[in-house]
Amino acid sequence: MASESFGPSALATPANAVTIVRLLVAPVLFAMVAADGSSWGALVFWVVLASTDGLDGYIARRQGTTRSGAFLDPLADKVLVLGAMWALVLTDVFSWVPVAVIALREIGISVYRSWEGRRGISVPARQWAKVKTVVQDVAVGFALLPSTADRPGIAIAVLWIAVVLTVVTGVQYLLDGSKVRRAV
């Protein structure tokens, strides 16, 4: 069966549908975490939502990437991770400091990349930025895992590793953008 191919300006694509569903159901997860903290239900829901990031990317690579997908996918990633982290702050699992550092970097780099994009400069994600996202996901996963709930140090240690990767990859984006700007 031949897959349908979508052009770069397409909006209604299967990959975007997965991303939009992820955005729409994420608040259910946040409410679960805020109400119950760590639980098997929240963990399973988290794993499903976090893994759909790979699914929408897989679909997009097979059927054609789009500008809308390039915007929506990272937005969904940030909403999901930051929403879950702030819900964990509300339940006193995570401190607000590392989550605020991550949030400020994510918002700042998103604005920066958008600003550069409007000037015709593309600053693509490096492999370390993808690793950063996975480590952020793992930190949330450990915080939601009931068998580690009484040992929050594991989730907190992974969270701080995510903070370091988040800051380092943020600096990489700025340096990469500067290089591209000088080359233009």
Q: Measure the CA–CA gap between 139 and 148, rounded to whole angstroms.
A: 11
Q: Answer yes or no: are the C-beta atoms of 66 and 11 closer than 8 Å.
A: yes
CA distance 92 to 152: 10
Q: What is the pLDDT of residue 11?
A: 67
What is the per-residue DSSP string for 89-100? HHTTSS-HHHHH
What pLDDT, in 10s, does the model give residues 36-80? 889 999 999 999 999 888 887 788 778 777 777 777 888 889 999
- For residue 4, the SS3 value is coil
Q: What is the dihedral of CA 176, 165, 51, 99, to 10 degrees?
A: -120
5-29 residue pLDDT tens: 766 666 678 788 888 999 999 999 9
pLDDT above 60 (res 1): no
Measured between alpha carbons, how far is 145 from 49 in angstroms, rounded to an integer?
15
Contact 84, 33 (CB under 8 A): yes
Instruction: Bin 36: left if φ > 0, else alpha if -120 < ψ < 50, else beta.
Output: alpha
